[in-house]
Chain A
Amino acid sequence: MTPTLTQARSHTVTPRRRPKRARRRGTLIAWAFLSPALLLFLFFKFIPMFEGLRMSFFEVRPYLGDRWVGLDNYATIMTDDAFTAAIWHSVLLALGTTAGSLVLGLLFALLVEGPARYLWFIRTAAFLPVVTTMAAVAEVWRIMYHPADSGMVNSILGWIALEPQPFLASEHSSLLSIMGMNIWRGTPYDMMIFLAGLVGVDRTLYEAAAVDGATTWHRLRHITLPALRPVFWILFTLAAIRGLRVFVEVYVLTNGGPNGSSEVLMTLIYKLGFQKSELGIAAAGGIVLFVATLLLTVLVQVMRRRQNA
């Protein structure tokens, strides 16, 4: 079928004229098809982005006109105790969630790898947290974390003879409790991606290692884990970026409390922007978050290159 078609074309079209005209027409059509996406991106991504950048250098005063303040907003962020605490909380939460989900995700992926039908069922069931609506699942966890002895998680702790915990109600455990829920939701995602990576590992290597008398641990350490390295980096980057920008879970579970102990960058920006109308400082906070995300991505890429070289 193919040869006949190409032949037909070379017969019907004069070779000289077609390329240029066709290309120009193709370009026009391409831009027409792209225009809805580009327009929407322009209005709802790029204009807000540049507007945010502009606002970060101004004291934004609706109806009065904005006043240029240079880098004052950034200086405020870097010196304000609430902001530095929030940045610190964001980093802790991102690191804890990322590490927890990666380790548990890998562990569970290894446990449920295989073609058996019941494993497919377990994988599907375990994956459910990932597709759930964040706000709804956070309400469920808020109820489960109820600080009284009879709260659900505390009842379970009671079975294994542990003291009841205050969870979200205490300054010392609020951030950890949020982390717990995030790991619960992040682990199955990492597990699925690790599983996709495990499919690519050459089975004959396992067999050869078994013939050579290698233990399960050796096989994991020298065959499986090295093969998963690229997957690991991708997951690390994705999770860390997601971790830095958390908003919904904190907003629903604690709204930054008690006493600011779980305030993260995004909840603080939200409060400044929408409750205190400090729009300039809030915009600068957004830019800081953006730069942090960008730096993190670049850093991971560089580390990855170096390791592969």
Chain B
Amino acid sequence: MMRFDSALGLEARRGPLATVGKVLAYAFMVIVFTGPLVGLLVSAFNKTLDPTAFSLWPDDFTLENFVQAGKKNVYHYLFNSFVVVGFGLLLQMLVSVFAAYALARKKFRGMAFVMLIMLATMMLPEEIIAIPLSLVLADMPIIHADLIGTYAGMILPVGAWGFSILVMTEFMKEVPVELEEAARIDGAGELRIFFGIILPLCRPALGVIGVFGFTMIWDQYLLPLIVAPESSMWTLPIALRSLRSDEEVGIGVLLAATLLALLPSIIAFLAFQRQFMRGLTSGAIKG
């Protein structure tokens, strides 16, 4: 009897023709999906003066593009990006684990309402509220602070994210209630239980919301565009547009800066691949 590890049963076909077909198809896939990224990696170190010189083949290796990038403030933009993603992610993860603890481990009046709020925020793309958000940020209700042109303006709005709260909630529900009760009988307080028992057991889920939060905040575009009208506060992604051509090195600076903007998310993904895939499927299938 035939065994099937996949729908097409390709692994069972081992003839020379089938092998050639498979190799061609897989090579095509890898080239199409990674080609542009490899091309960027190579070209950023090439002496390229015009945009047609973007290529997959290295020639004339140089670091000149990265040196010139410094003169164009690229490393300052990179620094801004890291400030926003660093504090933003820290805040987002803290907010998420706190909220998830309440939703997963407590029964309270209004819980259905809170869940509804979480889902509503996920239904509401930030693009839609961009215009009014810019006014709210310029004059915060109640506290009357102006967050335009500040790091806080880019950090606080990404502080609460429905996706990461829900992923964390699902995970915290799995922690056996006996552990919590045992600690309670031993006289442990609420924070002790939270930090000492629940959180350490949720380490895998912290990886999931960490890597998703990182890519989400790093990819922010419209928000920094609204919050940072002055170039001194730009993050790297929004600075790229202004680096398009340079008299001295052509598009070299743009290529170097683009590479620097791409690498962090790719590294985060490769380092936390398992957590990423897990969050991806749980998020899409459930949400």
Contacts and interface: CB of A to CB of B under 8 A. Distances in A.
Interface string B92-112: 001110110111001111110
B237 A135 contact: yes
A137 B156 contact: no
Contacts of A134: 219, 221, 237
B127 A289 contact: yes
B230 interface: no
Interface in B159-197: 159-160, 165, 178, 181-182, 185, 190, 194
Interface residues of A, number: 106
Query: Among the interface residues B125, B240, B268, which one has the most CB atoms of the partner chain A within 10 A?
Result: B125
B231 interface: no
A138 to B, nearest CB: 9
Contact of A137 (B36, B101, B178, B280): B36
Nearest to B277: A192
Interface in B1-33: 1-11, 25-26, 29-30, 32-33
A223 B7 CA distance: 9
Interface in A157-213: 184, 187-189, 192-193, 196, 198, 201, 203, 206-207, 210-211
Given A126-B33, A129-B33, A283-B132, A36 B262 contact: no
B266 interface: yes
B178 A1 contact: yes
Contacts of B54: 143-144, 146, 152
A108 interface: yes
Interface of A: 1-2, 5, 8-9, 12, 23, 26-27, 29-34, 36-38, 40-41, 43-45, 47-49, 51-52, 55, 108, 110-116, 118, 122, 124-129, 131-137, 139-141, 143-144, 146, 148, 150-152, 184, 187-189, 192-193, 196, 198, 201, 203, 206-207, 210-211, 216, 219-220, 223-224, 231, 234-235, 238, 241, 245, 247-248, 251-252, 266, 269-270, 273-274, 279, 282-283, 286-287, 289-290, 293-294, 297
